[in-house]
A and B are shown apart, each in its own frame.
Chain A
Amino acid sequence: MQFLKKKFPVLLAFVLGMVMFIREFVPAKIAQSLYEGFVNWSLVITGFAAVFAIISLLHYHVAKVRKKVPGYGFSVLTLVAYTQILLLGLVLGKDIGTPTAWQYQFVFVPMQATMFATLAFFIASAAFRAFRARTWEALALLVAGLIVMIGRVPIGEAILPKLGFLAEWIMNNPNMAASRGVTLGVALAQIAISVRIIFGIERTYMGGGD
C-alpha cells in the first residue's frame, strides 16, 4: 500500500518524464504516436475528472443552501441554472433554435462580454494607482507609460511625430531586454522544477508533503 501511495507515483513520474523528454528528440513516427496517445489519455482523464468537478460544484452549492450561509441565493440561482440547462440540452438538444442555444447566445455570451468589458474600468483604476509619481521609479513608469500609450495611437503621432518612434524604441529595447531576462529565468526555473519532479525530489504536487 505504501508502495502504491508513495513510490509508484514517483516511479511513474520518473518513467513518463524521461519518456516525454526523450520523445522531444526523436523524429520517428512512434514519438508522435506516443505523444498523441498521451494527449488522448489526458482527454479521457479530463472526462472523468469533469464528473468529479460537477459533483464538487453541486455539493458546494447545495451545502451553502442547506446551511443558508449569507448569499445562498446565488447558489440557488446556480443550481437552478445548471439543472434547467442540463435538462433542456438533454431533451431538446443544443442546435440553433433550441432554448439551450438561445440561452447561450442571448444570456451567456452577453454576460461574458460584460465581464470582459469591466476590464476597461479596472485598468483605469489600476493605472491611476500605478501612475502616482511618489518615487523616482513610479515617475519613470509614468513617463514611459504615457509615451507608449500616446505613441501607439494615431493622435499621438499627429501631436508629436517622433512619439511613435519613441514608443517603439521603449517597447523594443528596455522592455524587450527585461522581458527576455524574465523569460530566460523562467526557462531555467522550469528545467529545475522538471528535474526535481522527474527525480522525485519535489513531491508536494502529489500530496503528502515530502
Chain B
Amino acid sequence: MGNTIKLTVILAILCTFAISSGSFAQQPAEGTAPDAAASTEAAAPVEAQPAAPPVEIKLPTDLFAGDLPNDDGSGVYLKWSVVPGESAETNYVIYLAESPDGPWAEALTQPADAVFMEDHGKYFPGFFWFGKNGREKQVHVAIIQNVPTGEYDKIGRQIHIPQPAGFTVKPNLGPKDDAGEPIDPDVIDVKTGLPKITPILADIQPRKIGTMYIKFTAVRDGVTAIAPEIFQVDAKEQWFTTSKLNAFIFAILFGTTILLFIARARRDPNLFIRRIAGLNAVDEAIGRATEMGKPILYINGLAGLGDLSTLAALNILGRVAGRVANYESSLTVPCRDPIVLTVAQEIVKSAYTDAGRPDAHNPDSVFFLTDDQFSYSAAVAGLMLRDKPAANFFMGFYYAESLILAETGASTGAIQIAGTDAMTQLPFFITTCDYTLIGEELYAASAYLSREPLILGSLKGQDMAKVFMMIVILIGTVLVTFGITFVKDLFTQLG
C-alpha cells in the first residue's frame, strides 16, 4: 500500500512537470509572430529575429564633372542634385586617377548632405548671382584641387591608395631603398633622426592636374556604392575670373567717371571743393613755426611705400616742403622705411628746387631712424622733446604708436595736424591733435593743397561715385528688408 502511494505521488509529480513543460513550450516568444511562435523547433526563436536590412545607398543620378571655373588650372569639380533622404551617415568619396585604369587616389570625402554650390560663389558666381532662383541648398558640389595623384603626397610621403571593391588598382610601388625594398615612410633613420623619406620640393608644390579621371563612390556603414561612370575632365587655367566681374565693372565704372571729371576740369577749372579745416591750417602751422624759428616735423606714417596712405602722405609732404621752402623755415622728416626714405629725400629736394630755393635744402632733414615700431616712436618722441618743433604733421598709416607720438607732441605745445585712414587710430589723433584729416580727406589733401584743376576733378569724380554708392545702399537696404537679395548679392565679394 505504501509503495502504491509512493508510486502514485511520483507519477503525479512527473505528470505535473510534463504538463508544465508543455505549457512553457507553447508560450509565444516576445516580438515574434504568433505563427512563428507556434513553432516548436529549438532554433525557432533565434531564426525568427528579422535579418538586418541590406544597406541601401542611393547615388545621385545627375552627376556632372567639369573643369573648375575661375581657377589656375589646378581644380576640377563634380555637381549633383540633392538626393532625397540623404544624410550625414553617408559619405561621398571621390577618387582621382591619371588614367581610367587607375591607380586611384582618394581625393575628397564629404558628407552626403553637405557642401552646396552657393557655398563656393568664388568658383560659381553665375549660380550665386543669377542661378539660384529658389534652388538654394539644392545642388551639391565637390571641389577637388591640388591633389597629387602620383605615388607621393604633398610632403613626399607615400600615399595610401584605398582599394574598394570594384576598383582595378595598380600596385603602388612607393619609394624604395638601394636594395629595391620598399621604404616605410614612418621609419626614422637612426643616424639622422629624420624620416627616411625626405620631402622633395616638386612634391611640396601643388601640381596642375591636367587630364583627370574621376570616380564617384558613396560609403555608408562600411558598404561602398560606386557610380558606373568614370568622368574624364581636362583641368585648364582661366584668364579671367568671373567671380570678380562685379569688382571689375565697378572699378572700370569709377575709374572712367574720375577720368571724365578730370577731362571736364580741363575745360572748366573753376571747381568748388568744400573747405577742409585741417588743410587750411597747414599754412598757419608753417607760418607759426617760421615765426617761432622752430622746425616742422613731418612723419609719413609707419607703413611702406606699398600702402596707398603712405603715397598720399608723400604727396602732401611735397606740398608742405614747397611751402616750407617758401617760408624759409626748416623741415625734419624722420623715416621708418628705407624705400620711403629715398622717395621722401627726392620729394623734399625737388620741392625746394621747384620753390626756387635749392640752396635752402638741407639733405640731412630727411633721415632714417629705425624700422622698429617702438624704437621709432621713442626716437621721434625724443626729437620732439629736444627740438620742440612748432608744428607736427602725422600723415599716413599708424599703429599703436600713434598716441605716443601725438600725445608727446601735444605736451610740447606744437600745433598738430594728423591724417590717417587707420580707423583704430583715428580717435587718438582726434583727441590729441588740433586738426585731423579723417580717411578720404588724407587722399584729397594733395589735390586740395595743389589746387590743380585736374587733380581736383578727380575729387569730383570720387564724389559722384559716392553718390552712386549711397543710392545703391539705399535701394539694397529697402530690397533686403523685403527679402530680395539680388542687389546685395551683386555687391558681395566672392573672389
Give the B-binding residues of A (Cβ under 8 A). Answer: 21, 24-29, 31-32, 42, 45-46, 49-50, 52-54, 56-57, 59-60, 63, 70-71, 74, 111-112, 115-116, 118-119, 122-123, 125-127, 129-130, 179, 182-186, 188-197, 199, 201-202, 204-210
Say yes or no for B59: interface residue by CB 8 A criterion: no
Say yes or no for B315: interface residue by CB 8 A criterion: yes
Q: How far is the CB of B368 from chain A (nearest CB, A)?
A: 4
Q: Quick check: B312 and A209 within 8 Å, CB to CB?
A: no
A189 to B444, CA, bound (A): 7
Q: Name B's interface SS.
A: helix
Give the residues in chain A near B426, CB-CB below 8 Å: 182
Tell me which of B382, B400, B428, B459 contacts A126 (CB under 8 A): B428
Q: Quick check: A49 and B338 within 8 Å, CB to CB?
A: yes
Residue from A119, A127, A207 having most chain B Cβ neighbours under 10 A: A207
Stretch at the interface among B31-39, B157-165, B235-243, B282-290: B235-243
Give the residues in chain B near A63, CB-CB below 8 Å: 364
Q: Quick check: A27 and B407 within 8 Å, CB to CB?
A: no
Q: How far is the CB of A189 from chain B (nearest CB, A)?
A: 4
Q: How far is the CB of A197 from chain B (nearest CB, A)?
A: 7
Give the A-binding residues of B (Cβ under 8 A). Answer: 70-73, 208, 237-241, 244, 247-248, 251, 254-255, 258-259, 262, 306, 308, 311-312, 314-315, 318-319, 322, 335, 338-339, 341-343, 346-347, 349-351, 353-354, 364, 366-372, 374-375, 377-378, 382, 386, 400, 403-404, 407-408, 421, 423, 426-428, 430-432, 438-440, 442-444, 446-447, 450, 452, 454-455, 458-459, 461-462, 465-466, 469
| Nearest-CB residue, chain A, relative to B123 | A27
Residue from A21, A24, A189 having most chain B Cβ neighbours under 10 A: A189
Q: Quick check: B318 and A28 within 8 Å, CB to CB?
A: no
Q: Quick check: A49 and B318 within 8 Å, CB to CB?
A: no
Q: Name A's interface SS.
A: helix
Give the residues in chain B near A189, CB-CB below 8 Å: 439-440, 442-444, 462
Q: Quick check: B346 and A207 within 8 Å, CB to CB?
A: yes
Tell me which of B338, B427, B442, B458 contacts A201 (CB under 8 A): B458
Contacts A57-B367, A116-B400; A29 near B73 (Cβ below 8 A): yes
Q: How far is the CB of B122 from chain A (nearest CB, A)?
A: 10
Listed A/B pairs (5) with beta-carbon separation below 8 Å: A27-B71, A49-B338, A115-B378, A119-B400, A182-B423
Give the residues in chain A near B354, CB-CB below 8 Å: 208-209
Tell me which of A112, A199, A207 contacts B318 (CB under 8 A): A207
Give the residues in chain A near B208, CB-CB below 8 Å: 29
Contacts A27-B238, A116-B400, A126-B428; A204 near B443 (Cβ below 8 A): no
Q: Quick check: B343 and A205 within 8 Å, CB to CB?
A: yes
Give the residues in chain A near B452, CB-CB below 8 Å: 210
Tell me which of B237, B312, B353, B431 contacts A29 (CB under 8 A): B237
Contacts A25-B244, A27-B71, A204-B319; A179 near B343 (Cβ below 8 A): no
